[in-house]
Structure 1
Amino acid sequence: MNRPLSFFKKITLNKETCTPDRLIVVTHLAPGNEDFLLELNERIPIAAVIPKPNSIDTHTRDIVSSRIQILDWNRATIKSQPNQFTEEIENLVEGASFAIIDTGGYFSHVLRQICDRFEAQLLGVVEDTENGHQKYTALLTRDNSNFPCPIISVARSSLKDPEDFLVGQAIIFSSEALLRARGEILNAKNAVVFGYGKIGRSIAHHLRQKSIQVSVLDINPGRQILAMAHGFHTETKAQLLNNADIVYCATGNHSLTHLDIPLIKRGAYVFTATSADDEIEDHTSLMQRAIHDKKDNISRIDTNGSYFYIANGGNSANFMHGGIVGPFIKLIQAELILCLSQLKGAPTDRIIELSDTKKRFIADTWLEQFTSQPA
């Protein structure tokens, strides 16, 4: 048995796992994700997988679709056709209890409608990402009331730290590879990182290792102070955009607004750490007027007599090269599984997390599985 499958079997054999009858899963269909989905499907039937559209590996999709139904909905179509989407979910779950594993807050836009439709059937949502965590938080703040069902998030879990660190490293790898393919190098360029969360921090530190002048801007004053304590320069956003040769967007909450676009330095490159519509305001209209170079996976945006480049259509740069972070991603996938057992009866007045005890169980199991010598 391969190590990932053995690891997931040990996690899913835990007596506290797998309380829903069905699952709906929003996820990346990147290489390696099939182990997680197929093992989970053995324990809880996955009614459907909704793939993130900009991170679909064809081979991985073929493997998953041979066992699990694929729904080609995206965030925009869910928002624009909520009734049709809810009806399709109803046909899939067929009266059974179910839970949602979300990646990026896809269901935040229709959560109350779905809960009204399914009442006690929906046990709750487990969210994977920071931008999804923010979307569910906004739902609670906007409505000034409880969630209609429990929400558990792994976005800020300590088990996600290794993955986020390696995602930052992968983004630097992909940005450097793209520049080299265009006859340019990272060295001697000025870079700005918007956001000093776990991924932004990783990006900034990996850039520094390459002797690049790095500035950081975070709207959270605590994080901004931390960046300064780590020795990173900062200025106003306008000054940073005017001077940066490379812009890394890692906030999950519109690093670049429509007011920022004209300020971007002529010929600069923009790389993001998450979905384009999360990092770039009016992304769709911006890309409609872009000049696309499919060979280099880059788009040129002309604006007010100037221009700049956006990599990978504005989506996470690391997926240009597969977005692979090795077995470390299994930690957070295991946490997603254990979170499912905590949904029933969980509070709805806040987003909750998995207990430290259960995180320790996951970490111990991972170390046993992935650091021991094979028999």
Structure 2
Amino acid sequence: MLANSAKIEAYFSHLVSHLGSDQEVHCVAVAHMVPNTMFFAPALNKLTKLSGILAKPKSVGRPEFEKLQEMFNVPSLSRDWAKDSERVVRTLFDLGLSGKSVVLVDIGGYFAPALNAIVEKFDGQILGVLEGTENGVQKYEANLPYTVPVVTVARSPLKLPEDYLVASSVVFSVEAILRDQAEILQTRTAAVIGYGRVGSSLADILRGRGINTVVFDTDPVKLAEAAARGFQANTRLEDALAHSSLVVCATGRRALDLRGFGMLQSGCVVASVTSADDEFDLGCLQPGYNREQVAPNMMRYDENRRTGRHFFLVAEGNAANFVHGAVIGPAIQLIEGEKLKAIRALIDGSFGPAEAALHELDIEARREVAEIWIEHFL
């Protein structure tokens, strides 16, 4: 572990040296409180001045939160806060950023609804936004156009190894939680809801473990791909859920609401690859279901109509792999490196406003990052 830590630190030092630091530019970053952030945040602070870390709400109880709080300003983060441009600008002022140049680093599209208003009300300069996740990209795309650049790494080829390893770590965590209940994964049949980059990897991994796996997606192109790869591809959610005792959701777009939860088999285990507020409408369950914590990372929901029907929710609906720290190895540093490269491009003014689409780095920029990663990890 120590040797790997040294490699990661050397990689980020090399990359920042290659990109060039600019301490006149400030950064405010949304971040998960996980082990990798302990490396990425200092690297971001070397590239820019990291003036604030906005901790993802579901991760504030982790030990990394306290450590990062000792190193950086950590204001509170919520969806309601991010939608209120006046509150966001007030926080920027509280961080001492009045009149400064600022890059916003986002995970999950927090600033998407109010970005133009934030830019207008802030008395400094918002140089742009970096978004790192697919569900965040979808939120920004839904609110185009923007008056400042929005660049994303979510669809980069450098993220493919991370997407596969995220899927692997989700399966690992679900299996570990089931084993704590004296059950093995292979006793269940699975449905993967959402056949994107993580979802397709989930389906492959589950099938590779000998688990009968079906797929549902609202996109006909993705369903056609799933069918071509030999999966039972369902055009209706109810068909995917009908015979599945394990459901893993990877859409980032409210995969299950009251109707969807009502379709689950009794005894089904439900897990997610992202945060609960993105993947589920859990508020809809309050009137009709009773909750009971049956294990540290397992919640049981019972219909209160005395039907006996129930289901289990892993990690309160948040990303299952965060139960074990979301550790996926050095591959994640590829996309973290591309994030730093993209931030440098925002500082350099390489992009125009995000009008018709979000911006991405070109293949040459990605190749630079990959070459440095190879030098340190291969």
Structure 1 unmatched ranges of 5 or more: 141-145
1:357 — aligned with what?
Answer: 364
The question of whether the paired residues in 2 share the 8 Å contact of 1:30 and 1:57 is answered with no
Number of positions where the alignment pairs a residue of Structure 1 with one of Structure 2? 364
**1:27 maps to amino acid:** A
The question of whether the paired residues in 1 share the 8 Å contact of 2:33 and 2:60 is answered with yes
**1:367 maps to amino acid:** I
The question of whether the paired residues in 2 share the 8 Å contact of 1:163 and 1:328 is answered with yes
**1:334 maps to amino acid:** G
Q: Deviations over 1:171-197 (max 9, x none)?
A: 111111111111222214211001111
Q: Distance in 2 between matches of 1:331 and 1:56?
A: 25
Report the CA distance between 1:56 and its aligned residue. Answer: 4.1
Structure 1 residue 314 corresponds to structure 2 residue 317:
yes
How do residues 182-221 of structure 1 correspond to structure 2 at under 5 angstroms?
182-221=181-220
Report the CA distance between 1:256 and its aligned residue. Answer: 1.1
Structure 1 length normalisation: TM-score? Answer: 0.92
How do residues 91-102 of structure 1 correspond to structure 2 at under 5 angstroms?
91-92=94-95, 93-102=97-106
Structure 1 residue 121 corresponds to structure 2 residue 125:
yes
Which region of structure 1 is more displaced relative to structure 2, 361-370 or 111-120?
111-120
Secondary structure, in 3 states, of the residue corresponding to 2:32? Answer: strand
Secondary structure, in 3 states, of the residue corresponding to 1:358? Answer: helix
Identity of aligned residues (%): 32
Distance 1:37 1:184, change over 3 A: same
The question of whether the paired residues in 2 share the 8 Å contact of 1:194 and 1:251 is answered with yes
The question of whether the paired residues in 1 share the 8 Å contact of 2:294 and 2:300 is answered with no
The question of whether the paired residues in 2 share the 8 Å contact of 1:127 and 1:152 is answered with yes
Report the CA distance between 1:296 and its aligned residue. Answer: 3.2
1:346 — aligned with what?
Answer: 351
**2:328 maps to amino acid:** V
Q: Distance in 2 between matches of 1:38 and 1:330?
A: 14
How do residues 290-305 of structure 1 correspond to structure 2 at under 5 angstroms?
290-293=290-293, 295-303=295-303, 305=307
Structure 2 unmatched ranges of 5 or more: none
Report the CA distance between 1:90 and its aligned residue. Answer: 2.4
Q: Distance in 1 between matches of 2:292 and 2:130?
A: 36
Secondary structure, in 3 states, of the residue corresponding to 2:30? Answer: strand
Secondary structure, in 3 states, of the residue corresponding to 2:224? Answer: helix
1:253 — aligned with what?
Answer: 253
Q: Distance in 2 between matches of 1:355 and 1:120?
A: 29
Q: Distance in 1 between matches of 2:48 and 2:290?
A: 43
The question of whether the paired residues in 2 share the 8 Å contact of 1:22 and 1:98 is answered with yes
Correspondence for 1:337 among 336, 340, 357: 340
**1:174 maps to amino acid:** S
**2:279 maps to amino acid:** E
Report the CA distance between 1:259 and its aligned residue. Answer: 1.8
RMSD: 2.0
1:262 — aligned with what?
Answer: 262
1:89 — aligned with what?
Answer: 92
**1:176 maps to amino acid:** E
Structure 2 length normalisation: TM-score? Answer: 0.91
Q: Distance in 2 between matches of 1:20 and 1:126?
A: 18
Q: Distance in 1 between matches of 2:22 and 2:161?
A: 25
Distance 1:351 1:186, change over 3 A: same
2:57 — aligned with what?
Answer: 53
Secondary structure, in 3 states, of the residue corresponding to 1:54? Answer: helix
How do residues 72-83 of structure 1 correspond to structure 2 at under 5 angstroms?
72-79=76-83, 81-83=84-86
1:67 — aligned with what?
Answer: 71
Secondary structure, in 3 states, of the residue corresponding to 1:126? Answer: strand
Off by >4 Å, runs of 4+ in structure 1: 15-20, 287-290
Secondary structure, in 3 states, of the residue corresponding to 2:99? Answer: coil
Secondary structure, in 3 states, of the residue corresponding to 2:73? Answer: coil
Distance 1:164 1:353, change over 3 A: same
